[in-house]
Structure 1
Amino acid sequence: MDSLIQHFRKDEQPFIETTMGWIREVEDNYSPKLTGFLDPRQRFIVESIAGSSMLLVGMDGAFIDAERQRILIYPDYYVPETADYQIAIFNVKYATKFLKLEHKDILGSMMSLGIDRSKFGDIRVGDDEVQFALVGELKDYMTANFISIGKAKVTMEVNNHRESLLVTTETWIEEIYIISSLRLDVVVAALINLSRQKAASLIHGEKVKVNWTVRNQPAFELHESDILSIRGSGRFKVIAIEGRTRKDKIRLLIGKLE
């Protein structure tokens, strides 16, 4: 286990300790443990640690291709069901004739209610409605308190029919990059065809995020399942590190959001 944990970043240690606590809880009680909504990198960490402990994991984010999902850690005897993930799905209705809500509007309103980011999952914005996933225990609270987004009055409806959920229109284009290292400046330079010096300037200028956190150190090392946002250039994800070439370069499989 120690040899596995040392491969994660130092600033991921608090989450790793939390994950270890979940693992111990499942092992001690021999019963499932449900997490909040996790991003792809967090899920990668949980999967890695749970797998080394001979436990199984299931994931559900309600939406097809959900970016944020809850994880169920469970012993091998257990057979998970959809209800185990305890996800409430809401439709948000508003006067689309007068305004158009965006993802950031909904996210900001939820955060203003004091709801932790781990308590809600993906937010999908359609032509005439918004849908989002929430931990089941907050369903009544959300129904009573989520009555407006900015100046827009909204009506909340619980959606119990997954077949009616909005489908993302996001498309990720995959491409292999041959790079010398996993340093952030090296990868950014390769992704957007810049010199390392210019890539480092972007990073120092806090224009690059990794897993939704600004990273301003060019030497920051990327790992599998990381999500990169480069201001003005879009979003990328590290799908896999596919070994090395004969010249000892790294083969990196990257997805770019179109």
Structure 2
Amino acid sequence: MDREEQLFLHRLHDLSDACFQRGIPVYTDFLNLHEQTVFLSALPEFSHVRCYLDGGYETAERKIVCFLPVYGGFEEGPDREQLPIVPVRISSSAGKFTVPSTHRDYLGAVLNLGIERGKIGDIIVGDGFAYCLCTENMSDFLMEELKSVRRNPVACTRASFADLEENQSFTVITGSIASLRMDALLALLMKCSRSRASECLAEERVFLNGKLCVSQTAVPKTGDILSVRGVGKYIFDGVLTSTKKGRQMVQLKKYD
């Protein structure tokens, strides 16, 4: 564990200790996949409190850690509506003249306001709009100050968590692989050789259900979330058919 990871864990311990000593819920900012992996690897160290990860919707990639007291009415876990996460809808007001914007465009516009990356969770992009998850203490500033994305004038309003699930869009990917193991699946998704896919695993760019995956032989299950840094995020839909030669036709949905 390097010094940066040690400092990160030290901050988590400070928050969990505050939760334990004061008997109140305490939350982190949004964590990326690597930070979540570091936290989960040290989970036994936080046995004095209850710990939950949540990003505002079921398949969120960036998540906050919720530290809750063991007693005092917090035994059932956090209610999402009570979390310090606010979904903000960013809508273009340019009508038919709206210039298509990507995830990078929305994220860049938000960060250009001076907002720290940890204050922003996932961004779900639609046609002429996007949903941006942010921490509660940053939501009013974001809604008041964000005026444009790319060349589009935008208006920001508070949304509901239900809106996030309803407005996700996917691209369906199907293909044939020799075996149902991670290097073969990555080779399909990245359109590369299995040796290059293995390098991607060794470079610690692959996460399965939010946990770092470095195993070439890991076998995903139907419904698993696969994230590859620099490539995309996918839901594994499982095996559709198998050929007589033993190849398997698989299907995944890529988050747009």
Q: Do both proteins adopt the same fold according to a TM-score greater than 0.5, normalized to the shorter chain?
A: yes
Which of 15, 19, 43 is matched with 1:26 structurally? Answer: 19
**1:41–1:226 CA contact under 8 A, matched in 2:** no
State the distance in 1 between where 2:183 and 2:60 align. Answer: 29
In the alignment, residue 90 of structure 1 is paired with which amino acid? V
User: How do 1:144-223 residues align onto structure 2 when only pairs under 5 Å count?
Assistant: 144-159=144-159, 161-165=160-164, 166-169=167-170, 175-177=180-182, 192-193=192-193, 195=195, 210=205, 222=214
How many Å separate the matches in 2 of 1:119 and 1:67? 14
Q: Give the match's secondary structure for 1:38.
A: coil
The residue aligned with 1:112 is 112
Instruction: Name the SS for the 1:121 alignment partner.
Output: strand
Q: Cα offset for 1:73? A: 1.1
Q: Counterpart amino acid of 1:138?
A: M
Q: Structure 1 residue 53: deviation in Å? A: 2.9
Letter of the 1:27 partner, please give it.
F
- Judge conservation of contact 1:123–1:130 (CA < 8 Å) in 2: yes
Q: Secondary structure at the match of 1:92?
A: strand
- Cα offsets for 1:176-198 (capped at 9, x unmatched): 2489xxxxxxx99xx842557x9
Structure 1 Cα separation of the partners of residues 154 and 17 of structure 2: 42
Q: How far apart are residue 84 of structure 1 and its match?
A: 3.3
Q: Secondary structure at the match of 2:64?
A: strand
Q: For the residues of structure 1 that align with 2:88 and 2:233, how far apart are their CA atoms?
A: 28
Cα shift readout 1:14-70 (whole Å, capped 9, x = no counterpart): 222222222222233233211111123322332343433313212322233111122
Deviations 1:202-237 (A, max 9, x none): 9xxxxx7838xxxxxxxxx9599995436xxx3479
- Residue 248 (structure 2) aligns with: none
Identity of aligned residues (%): 20
Native 8 Å contact 1:38 1:69 kept in 2: yes
Partner of 2:241: none
In 2, Cα distance between equivalents of 1:112 and 1:62: 23
Structure 2: how far apart are the matches of 1:151 and 1:81?
A: 38
Which 5+ residue runs of structure 1 have no aligned equivalent?
1-7, 180-186, 203-207, 212-220, 240-255
CA RMSD, Structure 1 to Structure 2 (Å)? 3.9
How many residues were matched structurally? Answer: 208
Length-normalised TM-score, structure 2: 0.65
Match in the other structure for 2:68: 74
Q: TM-score, normalised by structure 1?
A: 0.65
